[in-house]
């Protein structure tokens, strides 16, 4: 496959139709006026880089995402093997914490990227919100001609191309190339679907887990509530048990009612019982 710069230079001569003008305008609205080709070159116009593309994949991941690192390798193989220069392009939408992390991650990718500067960060945030991206990595596919996002299930679909491989190690799994090319054709004609629907439940569970992790006292409260509910259920089934528990709670911590507790005299160090005078003991003058 030709280097990225050469591929994009060839696309410059393609004349734009009115439909492609609308498509490019739509892309600029989502991606901004410029995109990065690599970490060393200055950004180039989005309209120039994506001219003639029928599909654009928005790839959401980050340097700190372990699953993203594994999937990036597979997506790169899919990108180099199953995509022609006119069919589709992928754009990296990073969630990296710093620009240095972004540059380090993007350096190992063969596709384009939204810049990691302040303006690019705003664009990426708006994209993630608009596309309802709740987890990483995610691959959302845009049909450039229609302007519709046809699926946000791209990661699972590309991942499935490797699942038929007999190798157990992820880095040794082989991709089904024929199915990969069929997948690209499927995206071209696929009707748009509701975005974020599949991840809604996952997002709620994830946010709940994060909340409980930050406030563990809530977990203790829930456990105590479950125990109390279980006790009340047993009391309802056995009233005598309830009466016994009430009596126990009322008497808990109180002094015994019987004050006539036998007194056990204690002996001192010399064997004499404390507080008792020995009648046979000699008096000392």
Identify whether residues 161 and 220 lie together within a single domain: no
Q: Give the total number of structural domains in the chain.
A: 2
Residue 26 CB neighbours (<10 A): 17
Structural domain boundaries enclosing 75: 4-195
- Conformational region of residue 171, where left means phi above 0, alpha means psi within -120 to 50, and beta covers everything else: alpha
Its pTM stands at: 0.62
Whole-angstrom Cα distance, residue 75 to residue 283?
105
pLDDT in 10s for each residue of the chain, 285 residues: 444 544 444 433 333 444 555 566 778 888 999 999 999 999 999 999 999 899 999 999 999 988 999 999 999 999 999 988 778 999 999 998 888 999 999 999 999 999 988 888 899 999 999 888 988 999 999 999 888 999 999 999 999 999 876 666 666 778 999 999 999 999 999 988 766 554 444 555 555 665 666 678 888 888 888 888 888 888 888 888 778 878 787 777 666 555 555 555 555 555 555 555 555 655 555
Does residue 130 lie in a domain region?
yes
CATH number at 181 reads 3.40.30.10
Does residue 266 lie in a domain region?
no
Whole-angstrom Cα distance, residue 141 to residue 155?
10
Does residue 208 lie in a domain region?
no
């Amino acid at each position: 496959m030709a280097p990225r710069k050469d591929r994009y230079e060839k696309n410059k001569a393609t004349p734009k139709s009115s439909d492609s003008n609308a498509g490019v305008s739509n892309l600029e609205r989502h991606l901004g006026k410029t995109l990065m080709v690599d970490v060393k070159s200055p950004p180039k116009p989005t309209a120039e880089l994506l001219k003639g593309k029928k599909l654009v994949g928005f790839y959401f991941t980050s340097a700190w995402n372990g699953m993203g690192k594994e999937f990036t390798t597979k997506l790169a193989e899919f990108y180099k093997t199953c995509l022609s220069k006119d069919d589709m392009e992928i754009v990296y939408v990073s969630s990296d914490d710093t620009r240095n992390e972004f540059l380090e991650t993007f350096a190992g990718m063969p596709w384009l990227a939204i810049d990691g500067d302040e303006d690019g960060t705003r664009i990426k945030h708006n994209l993630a919100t608009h596309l309802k991206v709740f987890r990483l990595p995610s691959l959302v596919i845009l049909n450039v001609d229609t302007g519709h996002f046809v699926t946000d299930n791209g990661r699972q679909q590309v991942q499935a191309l490797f699942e038929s491989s007999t190798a157990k190690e992820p880095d040794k799994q082989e991709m089904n190339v024929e199915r990969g090319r069929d997948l690209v054709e499927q995206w071209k004609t696929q009707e748009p679907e509701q975005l974020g629907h599949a991840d809604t439940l996952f997002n709620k569970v994830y946010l709940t887990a994060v909340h409980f992790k930050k406030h563990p006292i809530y977990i203790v409260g829930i456990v105590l509530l479950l125990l109390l509910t279980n006790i009340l259920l047993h009391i309802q089934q056995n009233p005598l048990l309830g009466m016994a528990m009430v009596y126990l709670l009322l008497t808990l911590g109180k002094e015994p009612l019987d004050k006539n507790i036998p007194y056990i005299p204690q002996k001192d160090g010399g064997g004499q019982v404390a507080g008792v005078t020995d009648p046979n003991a000699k008096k000392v003058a």
